[in-house]
Every structure is written in C-alpha cells, then in structure tokens.
Amino acid sequence: MVERTGIAHADTIMLVAGTTVVLSVYAHGLSAVPWARRFARRTEDLSSSAPERLAVTEHHMRAGTGHVPR
C-alpha cells in the first residue's frame, strides 16, 4: 500500500515499521515469562480476598480458531 502511494522514502518507512514490529515481538517474547513469574511471586503474599487470587471462569473458544486447549 505505502509503496504505491508515491510517498517519499516509502521503502525506508516500511523498513523502519517492519523492524519495529519484529523487535517488539522479540522483546515481548524475552520479557513475558520473567515478568509473569515475578507477578506470580508477588501475588503469593496477597490475602485470599485480593482480586488477583479470586477464582475465574475459563472462556470458551470458538470452533475453528486453531487454539488447542492445554
């Protein structure tokens, strides 16, 4: 799309945008597990009535989403 609009430096814009997305996904992958573990450790000390400790219901997935339940 951007390539066909005649915008100056469209190739550079696409390169920067694509690189930003890839690096963002990579950074999220590196940080997600350590942050989740840290959050889990913090919630261990909370009282049983804290919102983080309340039971939740599992949402049902629509058929055909490709999601495989664990």
**Alpha-carbon gap, residue 8 to 42, rounded angstroms:** 50
23 to 16, 27, 35: CA distances (angstroms): 10, 6, 18
pLDDT digits (tens, 9 = 90+) for 26-52: 999 999 999 999 988 988 888 988 988
- Band (7; pLDDT cuts 50, 70, 90): confident
Whether 65 has a pLDDT exceeding 70, the answer reads no
- Band (23; pLDDT cuts 50, 70, 90): very high
Whether 10 has a pLDDT exceeding 80, the answer reads yes
Confidence (pLDDT) at 69: 58
